[in-house]
C-alpha cells in the first residue's frame, strides 16, 4: 500500500506539473490582455501595470517565476480583484461549490444505486422500462437545458422555488437537481447493468440453492460486487460535478468557484485562471487516488500495485 501511494503521489505531482505548464503557455497565446476593457487605458498605464505584475518580462522568465512561487503554494495576486490573492479567492469560493457538488453527488448515489438495483431485479417489467427511459433521458439532456427549463417552470411560471443564490434551503433544490440529474441517471444505468451481470453469476445461484434469504443474497453478495463499477465512476463523476457546476453556478448566480473560473477566463485574469485550473486538477487527481483505495476497502481481494 505504501509503495502504491508513493507511486501515485509521484505521478500526481508530474501530472500537475504538465497541467500547469500547458495551461500557462496556452493562456498566454490567446490574444488580448487583462488590462484591456471597453475604455482602453493609455499605453503608459498598461506598461506600468504590466511591470507591476511582471508581465513585461519574457514569457520563459514569467514561467520560471510562477512555477517557483507555485512550489511554495503561492498562486499569486488576482489581476482584476484588487487586493485579493488567488489563494484567498479559492479558499472563500470553493466551500460553496464543494457543498453544492457534495449534495448533488450524494443525491446521485443515494437515488441512482437503488433505482438501478430495482430495475435489475424487475428486468423486462414495466417498472424496469420506465426507469430505463427516465435514466436515458437524464443522460441525454445537458445540464444547462435542465437549468433553464426548471428555472422557467418552477421559478417563474409557478413561482415555487427561488432561481438565484443559495440563501435558503429551498434555493438548493433547482441547482442540485440540475447538477445531479446526469450522474444520477448514469449511476442508475451502470448499477442496473452491473447488478444483472452479478445476479447471473454461479455464486449467486449457489447461495439461492442453499436457501439463503433473497434479501441477504442481494445485500451481502450481489450489491457488494455490483457496486464496484460505481466506485470506478466516482472519479469521472466528480469531474462532471465540478465542470458542470461552472454552468450551473453561472445560471443560478451562485457565488462559487465555478463563477469565478468563468469570469477569470473572460477577464484574462491569468493568475486566477492558473490557480483554479491547478486546484481543480489536483482535486481530481486526489479523488482518483481515494477511489483506488476504496476498491481495496470494498473488495480485499483487489491488490494495489
Q: How big is the CA angle at 233 (ends 227 and 165), to the nearest 5 degrees?
A: 115
Total residues belonging to the chain: 305
User: Within 10 Å of residue 168's Cβ, how many Cβ atoms?
Assistant: 10
Cell output for 279: 486546484
| Of residues 3 and 174, more confidently modeled | 174
Which of helix, strand or coil describes residue 85?
strand
CATH number at residue 170: 1.10.3720.10
Cell output for 201: 453469476
Establish if 20 belongs to a structural domain: no
Establish if 27 belongs to a structural domain: no
What pLDDT shows up at residue 30? 74
Q: pLDDT band for position 33 (50/70/90)?
A: low
With contact defined as beta carbons under 8 Å apart, do 15 and 285 qualify?
Answer: yes
Establish if 247 belongs to a structural domain: yes
Mean pLDDT of all residues in 101-120: 89
Establish if 34 belongs to a structural domain: no
Q: What is the mean pLDDT of the chain?
A: 81
Establish if 144 belongs to a structural domain: yes
Crossing angle between the packed helical segments 270-298 and 86-121, to the nearest 10 degrees: 40
Which of 228, 96, 69 lies closest to 172 in space, CA to CA?
96
Establish if 41 belongs to a structural domain: no
- Cα 14 to Cα 282: distance, rounded to the nearest angstrom: 11
What pLDDT shows up at residue 107? 92
For the chain, the domain total comes to 1
Establish if 17 belongs to a structural domain: no
pLDDT of 56 strictly over 80: no
Q: DSSP state, 14?
A: H
pLDDT by residue (tens digit) across 202-247?
777 777 777 777 677 777 677 777 887 887 787 777 767 776 677 7
pLDDT by residue (tens digit) across 262-283?
778 777 888 888 888 888 888 8
Predicted TM-score (pTM) of this structure = 0.78
What pLDDT shows up at residue 255? 83
Mean pLDDT of all residues in 153-176: 86
- Cα 119 to Cα 137: distance, rounded to the nearest angstrom: 16
Q: DSSP state, 155?
A: I
Establish if 37 belongs to a structural domain: no
What pLDDT shows up at residue 110? 92
| Location of C-alpha cell 488576482 | 78
Per the structure, the complete domain to which residue 263 belongs is given by 97-268
Amino acid at each position: 500500500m505504501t509503495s502504491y501511494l508513493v507511486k501515485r503521489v509521484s505521478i500526481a505531482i508530474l501530472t500537475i506539473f504538465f497541467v500547469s505548464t500547458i495551461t500557462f503557455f496556452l493562456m498566454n497565446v490567446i490574444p488580448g490582455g487583462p488590462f484591456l476593457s471597453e475604455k482602453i487605458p493609455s499605453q503608459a498605464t498598461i506598461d506600468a501595470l504590466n511591470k507591476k505584475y511582471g508581465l513585461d518580462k519574457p514569457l520563459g522568465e514569467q514561467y520560471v517565476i510562477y512555477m517557483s512561487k507555485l512550489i511554495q503554494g503561492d498562486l499569486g495576486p488576482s489581476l482584476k480583484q484588487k487586493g485579493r490573492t488567488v489563494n484567498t479567492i479559492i479558499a472563500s469560493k470553493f466551500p460553496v461549490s464543494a457543498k453544492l457538488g457534495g449534495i448533488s453527488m450524494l443525491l446521485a448515489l443515494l437515488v441512482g444505486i437503488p433505482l438501478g438495483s430495482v430495475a435489475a431485479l424487475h428486468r423486462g417489467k414495466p417498472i424496469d422500462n420506465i426507469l430505463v427511459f427516465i435514466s436515458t433521458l437524464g443522460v441525454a439532456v445537458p445540464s444547462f437545458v435542465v437549468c433553464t427549463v426548471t428555472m422557467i417552470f418552477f421559478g417563474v411560471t409557478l413561482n415555487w422555488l427561488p432561481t438565484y443564490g443559495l440563501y435558503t434551503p429551498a434555493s438548493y433544490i433547482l441547482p442540485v437537481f440540475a447538477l445531479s440529474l446526469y450522474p444520477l441517471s448514469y449511476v442508475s444505468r451502470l448499477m442496473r447493468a452491473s447488478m444483472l451481470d452479478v445476479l447471473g453469476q454461479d455464486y449467486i445461484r449457489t447461495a439461492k440453492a442453499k436457501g439463503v434469504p433473497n434479501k441477504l443474497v442481494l445485500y451481502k453478495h450481489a450489491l457488494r460486487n455490483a457496486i464496484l463499477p460505481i466506485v470506478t465512476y466516482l472519479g469521472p463523476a466528480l469531474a462532471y460535478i465540478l465542470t458542470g457546476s461552472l454552468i450551473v453556478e453561472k445560471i443560478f448566480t451562485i457565488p462559487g468557484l465555478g463563477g469565478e473560473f468563468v469570469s477569470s477566463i473572460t477577464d484574462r485574469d491569468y493568475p486566477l485562471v492558473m490557480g483554479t485550473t491547478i486546484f481543480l486538477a489536483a482535486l481530481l487527481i486526489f479523488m482518483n487516488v481515494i477511489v483506488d483505495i476504496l476498491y481495496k476497502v470494498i473488495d480485499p481481494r483487489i491488490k494495489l500495485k
